[in-house]
Structure 1
Amino acid sequence: MTEIRHIVFDIGKVLIHYDPNLPYQRIIPDAAERADFFQRVCTHDWNIEQDRGRDWAEAEALLIAQFPEREAHIRAFRQHWAEMVPHAYDESVAVMTGLIADGHDVTMLTNFAADTFREARKMYPFLNTPRGVTVSGEIGLIKPDVAIYTRHATDFGLEPAHTVFIDDSYPNVEGARAAGWQAVHFTGADKLKADLRGLGISL
């Protein structure tokens, strides 16, 4: 078994909850209309470009030009972003902070817009406890591009073969493996604990 010397956590849906539907249940009460809005207007592909580094003003202007009648709803995405991350996953956070307390090298690697991540750090101070973080929106790279894993490993002095990555997205897990890392697919804190123990990490 290859010794694990570095543990890297994703953030959204691993340490904190994320669901853009939460504020929009109030903003667009009709479920069918809301689903259509996310399918055609504020889509996943549109939002991921903010994670890649596009600023919100440009992102909003792009959609408002296409859907001028939806301007208020488009602007609401950023305005009410904090409601999309309403709570932490306490058990997962306890795993991470416990690993840090035990002396393990813990960092984070996340697809996140730069400005909303600054807000998240204020909302959830535990995000400041690992040794460091790579934020996609700050460097213009996103998972599962192998380049972002390579950048993280270089910036933080990680040995890829001795690094384990934890992410709720299976494509992101596969991206880490393609970069030479070990990786586990997060589905809950109990499975995470079992996966880490399986890699020889005591909890």
Structure 2
Amino acid sequence: MKIYFIITAIVLIVLSSCDRTYVVSGKVISDVDGQMITNAKIITSERLTIYSDSLGKFRLNLFGPGSRSDKLEVLVIKEGYETKYFDLSKYEDVHNITLELKPYNTPFITKYPLSFVTTAYYVNLTIVNLIVLFTLGFVFFKKVKYRWLWIALILLVNLTLRVNYINGYIDVDFFHFPFYFKHYSFYPFTFKIPILFSTIAFWSIYFIDRNRIIKN
């Protein structure tokens, strides 16, 4: 019983996060002559779209990573300039950000199709979530050896690859919970590839030699 409460406490601690509001401000300029770019469309990772003002400046109120969105990200679009992705979480001073665009007339081409974002979301929402829920139910109700250890491993020992469809960059999220419910509109530039180490290990052992994992 004590193990159950310990595991529950760990789960609640990892899942809990404090919402913080980030005030992000800066300007959009040309990287050729430094001229301010007005009316540039700025799409954020938190269902918010704004435009730079007559001086090329902008101001955003974002909730930031761990609350609504996974990362502080924006996509800047302006006719006559390249469409460019920026990861704002990498800037040290988020109150004085300079976003530089290059004059460009070539059509915007992404590393991967945008459809990857929605497809990965629905695959994770249905197939991945169902596999994990089924595995947890199986472990809980069957006579599985080291039941609570397996439950803890299935919940905690996972890895998620977050692939930016625009530039192809990959971020690795270690010890990710194996559930994917957050709508893709909160990570519109990324598709997620889950690697469920413990779930894969459990079923591999079960099908190879179930006596090692099931009590007689």
Tell me the TM-score range normalised by the shorter chain: under 0.3
TM-score in terms of structure 2 length: 0.23
TM-score in terms of structure 1 length: 0.24
Structure number having the greater helix percentage? 1
- Compare CA radii of gyration and give the structure with the larger one: 2
**Greater RCO structure (CA 8 Å; 6+ sep):** 1
Structure number having the greater strand percentage? 2
